Amino acid sequence: MGTMLYAKGVSLNRCFDELNLVSPHLVKEVHMGYVKAGAELLETNTFGANRFRLAKFDLADKVRDINLAGARLARESAGEDLYVAGSVGPLGLRLEPLGPTSLEEARSAFREQVAALAEGGVDLIVIETMMDLEEAHQALLAAREASSLPVIVQMTIQEDGNSPSGASPEGFARQLDAWGADVIGVNCGTGPATVLETLERMAAVTTKKLSAQPNAGLPHSIDGRTHYLSSPEYMAERAGRFIQAGARIVGGCCGTTPQHIGAIKAAVKSMGPQAARATVETALRPPQALDPLPIEHRSTLAGKLVQGEFPVVVEIIPPKGCDPVREVEGAQYLKRHGIDAVNIPDGSGATARMSAQTLAVVIQQQAGIETLLHFSCRGRNVLSLQSDILGAHALGIRNVWAVTGEPPQFATLPSATAVFDVDAIGLVNVLSNLNRGLDLGGNPLGTQTSFLIGVGLNPNALDTDEELRRFEFKVKAGADYGVIRPVFDFDRLTRFLRRVQALDVPQIPLLAGIHPLTSYRNAEFLNNEVPGMSVSPGILKRMRRVDTGEKARAEGLSIAREMLLEVRELVQGVQIVAPFSRYAMAVEVIEVLGRQGHEPGVEGRQPSAQGKADAL
């Protein structure tokens, strides 16, 4: 459908589904082209007609109208002799635990679409081009809830036959069979050759009928237009082999024209029903996850959290240049004063700085202190996320803090783009899988990581309910500890922690954020211009009285110490911000805990860090 509408001059940035309402003659022309070519089953022009995809075109309120119109147009074209399948594509976003959309929200959106298609008179539902097996499951559940129609579920695959989320043909065939799909298949993604190999692997593990709708080869751009290079004759020859492999529904996806369908029809017309396939249950069994390494053995920081030692972590921001000498000296200084680990934020301010992962490795190697690495989803797709995480583990990183990351519009280069395949919830799920020896698709790696997985928690969030909901998802996904955003209101923090404790999830260690203020201007800036930060009126009043200079620094230090003493019995550790890289302030804050560093009173041994602070 998309190929033919594009050929008729419809722009790729249009909502193809809306054409059911505004240009129904174009949609019907496409349908009739396939009818004349010999198609026996037509798909409705509703692939993206769910509320989430339609919302991108301000059409979320048109779900029923668009799907009803799509079903009726296909039915009018098919008449009484041909079948009509209601096309249901993916939602275009990630589901929990990889994304912010809950399973119930997804199922509700699919249910809304399927109900309209059924009302429009389709004969069956085809759930297609599914990349995520769990999303396919929710669509199948929704189809069962909304109608009694037969349901085809088709996954999309890559060149290795696996789904983009990593599920193998054997894995998704078994699972869709167990969930009760009437027909299991593959479509889109690749050309006929890979689809044939995938069908053969699926046929070995299921007795369900199979379907195959490959692209007409891989797309190529010629003079700005997209072309698919598999000829009708080639597609037809492969369709015959699909049937021999066990397929009972054959056709095509992207690039498949009426000429392709005509050739496929001619090629398979003489092929009678094949003998029932003998299913051979191979030795391929669902992969078994490994037991994660006990938390206390994953890192020194992990051991201290488990043993209740109240660890202290201090933040070190990556440098803008390629020279980490000052940061290494700062880490050495902090280690001498009894700090347990240093926290390395990722892409602070979304500006061009040394990568957090690189600085974390350099500090561990040269300063001999453990690091807590922020790991950001911004700028990484799910494949590079896994690769980078495995690389970090190989380089000795064990403590990570999963963060979504700041969008580039806050950067000094606002034209920079971002990749948010997953958010922090999804990243925790990836890390948890790797700790159990599985990749994102549930495939065994042959080894396992041993990360201590951290997540953020913000008592200052505008929507506290949503913040707590997301925290629940993070803990369920496998978070081992949480880091609380700095708070300047003890009562607010206490109320928030009570709600955290009331959540129906395991209680994990929490580190409270402490941010020493340096001046009234600094306090105002944090309160009014830094997302997720809030300075109470009482603290602002105290800082206004001292304004700037050494008195302001002393007052900010006093406030930080008071907050530390107040939260001491509520949390299991602290994470202290060193304002403007003034590591001495962080050390002075923890003096109220009665800690003794290895070399007290050696602030003068970090001239580079102090010089940087003076310059700032």
Whether 175 is in a domain gets the answer no
The stretch 74-91 carries a mean pLDDT of 94
Q: Under a CB-based contact definition with an 8 Å cutoff, are residues 182 and 141 in contact?
A: no
The stretch 58-81 carries a mean pLDDT of 95
Residue 460, exposed/middle/buried by CB under 10 A (0-12, 13-18, 19+)? buried
Whether 199 is in a domain gets the answer no
Per 3-state DSSP, the chain is made up of helix, strand and coil in percentages (nearest 5) of: 45, 15, 40
pLDDT attached to residue 272: 58
The stretch 152-180 carries a mean pLDDT of 92
pLDDT attached to residue 452: 97
Confidence tier at 480 by pLDDT (50, 70, 90): very high
pLDDT attached to residue 418: 55
Which of 118, 149, 180 finishes a domain?
149
CATH number of the domain where residue 73 is located = 3.20.20.330
pLDDT attached to residue 352: 67
pLDDT tens column, 498-540: 999 999 999 999 999 999 999 999 999 988 888 778 888 999 9
d(C-alpha 330, C-alpha 355), whole Å? 17
Whether 497 is in a domain gets the answer yes
pLDDT attached to residue 410: 47
Which of 127, 149, 171 finishes a domain?
149
Q: Under a CB-based contact definition with an 8 Å cutoff, are residues 124 and 153 in contact?
A: no
At residue 456, does pLDDT exceed 90?
Answer: yes
428 backbone dihedrals φ, ψ, rounded to 5°? -60, -40
Average pLDDT across the chain, whole number? 86
Whether 261 is in a domain gets the answer no
pLDDT tens column, 333-356: 999 999 999 999 986 554 667 989
Confidence tier at 226 by pLDDT (50, 70, 90): low
Q: Where are the beta strands (DSSP E) in 141-269?
A: 151-155, 183-187, 209-213, 219-222, 225-228, 247-250
Confidence tier at 99 by pLDDT (50, 70, 90): confident
Of 194 and 285, the one with more pLDDT = 194
Amino acid at 189: G
Confidence tier at 417 by pLDDT (50, 70, 90): low
d(C-alpha 454, C-alpha 298), whole Å? 13
The stretch 226-233 carries a mean pLDDT of 70
d(C-alpha 26, C-alpha 32), whole Å? 10
pLDDT attached to residue 499: 94
The stretch 243-263 carries a mean pLDDT of 90
* pTM score, whole prediction: 0.67
Of 63 and 413, the one with more pLDDT = 63
pLDDT tens column, 562-583: 999 999 999 999 999 998 889 9
**C-alpha R_g of the chain:** 29
The stretch 166-171 carries a mean pLDDT of 90
At residue 293, does pLDDT exceed 50?
Answer: yes
Whether 45 is in a domain gets the answer yes
pLDDT tens column, 23-69: 999 999 999 999 999 999 999 999 999 999 999 999 999 999 999 99
pLDDT attached to residue 11: 82
pLDDT attached to residue 5: 87
CATH number of the domain where residue 415 is located = 3.20.20.220
Expressed as residue numbers, the domain containing 105 is: 2-149
Which of 124, 149, 174 finishes a domain?
149
Number of domains the chain is built from? 2
Long-range interactions of 495-501: CB distance < 8 A, separation 24+:
496/459, 496/464, 497/459, 497/570, 497/571, 499/464, 499/468, 500/457, 500/468, 500/471
Whether 184 is in a domain gets the answer no
Share of the chain above pLDDT 90, in %: 61
Confidence tier at 237 by pLDDT (50, 70, 90): confident
pLDDT attached to residue 123: 95
pLDDT attached to residue 315: 95
Whether 326 is in a domain gets the answer yes
Whether 504 is in a domain gets the answer yes
pLDDT attached to residue 613: 34
